[in-house]
Amino acid sequence: MATLFDVVFSGNDTVFGLTEGAIDAAIKEHGEDKAIAFPNTAYSLPCYYAVTGTKVGNLGELKAALGVVKTLMTREKRLNDVFMSGVATALCAEFIEALKYIDGAAPYAEPCYGHLADAIIRELGVPLVTGDIPGVAVIIGAAPTAQEGVDLVKSYQAQGILVTLVGGIIDQCAELGYKTGANVRVIPLGADITAVIHVVSVAVRAALIFGNVAPGDAAALMEYTFKRVPAFVNAFAPLDPVIVACGAGAIALGFPVVTNDVDTLAAVHANVPKSLIGQADVSKFNATSLEARDIKIKITNIDIPVAFASAFEGEIIRRGDMQVEFDGSRVDCFELVMTKDASEIEDHKIEVIGPDIDEMPEGSKQSIAYIVEVAGKSMQSDFEPVFERKFHSYLNCVEGMMHTGQRDMIRIRVSKDTFNAGFRAKHIGEVLYAKVKSEFAAVVDKCQVKIITDAAQCTELRHNLATPMFDKRDERLLTLTDEGVDVYYSCIMCQAFSPSHVCVVTPERLGLCGAVSWLDAKATNELDPEGPCQVITKEKVIDERIGEYEDVNDAVRKFSQGALEDVSLYSIIEKPMTSCGCFECICGIEPLSNGVCIANREYAGMTPIGMTFPELASMTGGGVQTPGFMGHGKHFIASKKFMKAEGGVGRIVWMPKDLKEQVADRLNATAKDLYGIENFCDMIADETIAEDPETLLAYLEEKGHPALTMEPMM
């Protein structure tokens, strides 16, 4: 009778044979020098690179790599041999998938994604750290029925879990018209079992990007994925040897496998406690998986007729699917938080002033304003804009609702399906009330919400109430400088993935993820004094030029558990701040022009430094200091403290066109204040002008860019 060892070894042998044949055929067709790599990653073949420390660049090297994989395929009947054969199977799957991308081919079409770019993994970093994505589900095969499969997917999605799909479950979702895509965090990878490597690659690259795991340190890699990547596998019956071998690879990385193929498990005498789990009832896959991975779901009960989960944050509502739209760029709309005395507020009072959604013509554009009034002994007016920025996330978590913008430039769309489920204006209030009360319980004792859809009142309140408040806040924010405050704040939220990284957040330097400002950190500290944002004093100046303080160094040393000794706040060369890996942008020195190039995560092209964003980012993540390179948020680009030690924003010589347009107004204003230069952004090149140093230099000389006359950076 076959045992688990026999099945895994058989599956491993099958995949190895297929891989060997595919590589030989590719070499015969293209030659050994043919380049091979996955697109939009700095790691070539990420899994093989992470396990062995060797980058594969062509088919000849891939053939040699297969020989290395063969050495992992030991055949002693021990669990370690099973796991290593699982890892070997995964690496073979990566080789097979990589062959599909030769010559820039696009082997996957909607709805399947195949390989996921480094940029997507960095985007997932923050929600994984904050728990908005509490886990990653890998679903393989076809459920007993399409409805059972979709119900399982939906149950995970409603909990905010990132769902990846391989095989028949993809067709089952399509059959029932279930919406998939990265924007709703249900990602079909591919029909072939080898496509599972694309989610394994996500976990492996998380270790390289965030964890500072050294390529080739397989033991550290597996420890990292086990402890810090909350993934698990659901595999539907029937389990063939190849799927079992892939499952062994998943278990080696610390990901438990739950299957309804209990007969096969019994037949092969499979017994890997808490790792290979039989569960005959598919409806119990969810609970079994979360328990096996020790994932705790935070539940906020909100009285609305549709689902509420972070998985819906990226959902796009097309015009044809839209019941109604509220558009602040066309009519008067706004969102506002106001601090009141407790006597003025009736807790959980939700008032709708004006017509409800069912009284609005289908497809129409309407006005809306919502005012959230809060009271609490510890509430501060500085927290009001912090609450407001959260509204974007709160409302986007509603299934079938899309929210963009802030203040008086919001746009909201409600889908027909959500409307037909019974969603009305009061439910916007229910969401805002529930989330404000749960997330800000330490400072909010009472909360009430006014939803205003009467167009005349929206206009009157926008101009006479909201705009004056926004203007007053802006004046306050302009006075917030690093010199004008007594304390900074740490932020170590990302240590869930990047154990040695510490952000130092100041009024003029927000967290590198772009999501934590000084006011955010201040509010977080007030809400949770023992939490990720701690007060850092700034009384003992070491070097004002680079922004180095003795007390900041003490804090960084403490919060990094001694991994870091000292940091500067204003230099890219001397003791730069570390990066976790989920930064919005990365800045790097371009020696020929005596300046720096900035690339944002969304930019997929080449930079004049000779590296793409993923390649630049691979040098700076994981909580290490890399002189000459710096991860940062988009808003920091226009700060007067940006690279102050090296001369400031005048060093910026290149950035992608889209990013330049996003920061132009504020960056132009900063350059005018610092250097008296008008329209500074016109002097900055982009990918439409230059992607190499020589062309860049010629453009800068033509424009008279200030970096050319500054002191040499190196």
pLDDT confidence of residue 451: 98
| Mean pLDDT, the chain, whole residue set | 93
* Model confidence pLDDT, tens digit, residues 468-493: 998 888 787 778 899 999 999 999 88
Contact 448, 350 (CB under 8 A): yes
Rounded Cα distance between 1 and 3, Å, is 7
Torsions phi, psi for 271 (to 5 deg): -150, 90
pLDDT surpassing 80 at residue 54: yes
- The DSSP letter of residue 281 is -
Question: At residue 199, what is the residue type?
Answer: V
Task: Read off the pLDDT of each residue in 498-526 and give the average, rounded to a whole number.
Answer: 87
Task: Read off the pLDDT of each residue in 600-608 and give the average, rounded to a whole number.
Answer: 91
Length of the chain in terms of residues written: 714
pLDDT surpassing 70 at residue 580: yes
Q: What string of DSSP letters covers 364-432?
A: EEE-EEEEEEEE-TT--GGGHHHHHHHHHHHHHTBTTEEEE--TT--EEEEEHHHHHTT--HHHHHHHH
Closest C-alpha among 214, 224, 225 to residue 50: 214
Helix residue spans in 540-685 (DSSP H): 550-559, 613-617, 657-675
Task: Give the chain's radius of gyration (CA, Å).
Answer: 27
Token couple for 570: 């204003």
Name, in order, each residue with C-beta under 8 angstroms of 353's C-beta and a sequence gap of 6 or more: 450, 451, 452, 453, 454, 457
- Please give the residue that has the higher pLDDT: either 501 or 597: 597
pLDDT confidence of residue 38: 96
Contact 537, 489 (CB under 8 A): no
SS3 category, 338: strand
Helix residue spans in 562-708 (DSSP H): 613-617, 657-675, 693-703
Closest C-alpha among 597, 614, 667 to residue 639: 667
**Percent above pLDDT 70 for the chain:** 100
| Three-state SS annotation for 490-535 | EECHHHHCCCCCCEEEECCECCCCCCCCHHHHHHHHHHCCCCCCCE
pLDDT confidence of residue 222: 93
Rounded Cα distance between 704 and 711, Å, is 15
* Model confidence pLDDT, tens digit, residues 212-249: 889 999 999 999 999 889 999 999 999 999 999 999 99
Rounded Cα distance between 459 and 425, Å, is 18
Closest C-alpha among 102, 3, 15 to residue 66: 15
Token couple for 216: 């080739």
pLDDT confidence of residue 364: 95
* Model confidence pLDDT, tens digit, residues 317-371: 999 999 999 998 889 999 999 999 999 999 999 999 999 999 999 999 999 999 9
Q: What string of DSSP letters covers 131-184?
A: TSS--EEEEES--SSHHHHHHHHHHHHHTT-EEEEETHHHHHHHHTT---BGGG
* Model confidence pLDDT, tens digit, residues 73-126: 999 988 889 999 999 999 999 999 999 999 999 999 999 999 999 988 888 877
pLDDT confidence of residue 1: 56
Task: Read off the pLDDT of each residue in 174-196 and give the average, rounded to a whole number.
Answer: 95
How would residue 640 be classed by pLDDT, with cut points 50, 70 and 90?
very high
How distant is the alpha carbon of residue 343 from its chain centre? 41
Burial of residue 597 (CB within 10 Å: 0-12, 13-18, 19+) is: buried
Torsions phi, psi for 41 (to 5 deg): -145, 150
**Percent above pLDDT 90 for the chain:** 75
Please tell me the least confidently modeled range out of 71-85, 141-155, 643-657. 71-85
pLDDT confidence of residue 238: 94
pLDDT confidence of residue 280: 95
pLDDT confidence of residue 264: 84
Token couple for 489: 């704040």
pLDDT confidence of residue 498: 82
Token couple for 202: 């996500």
pLDDT surpassing 80 at residue 192: yes
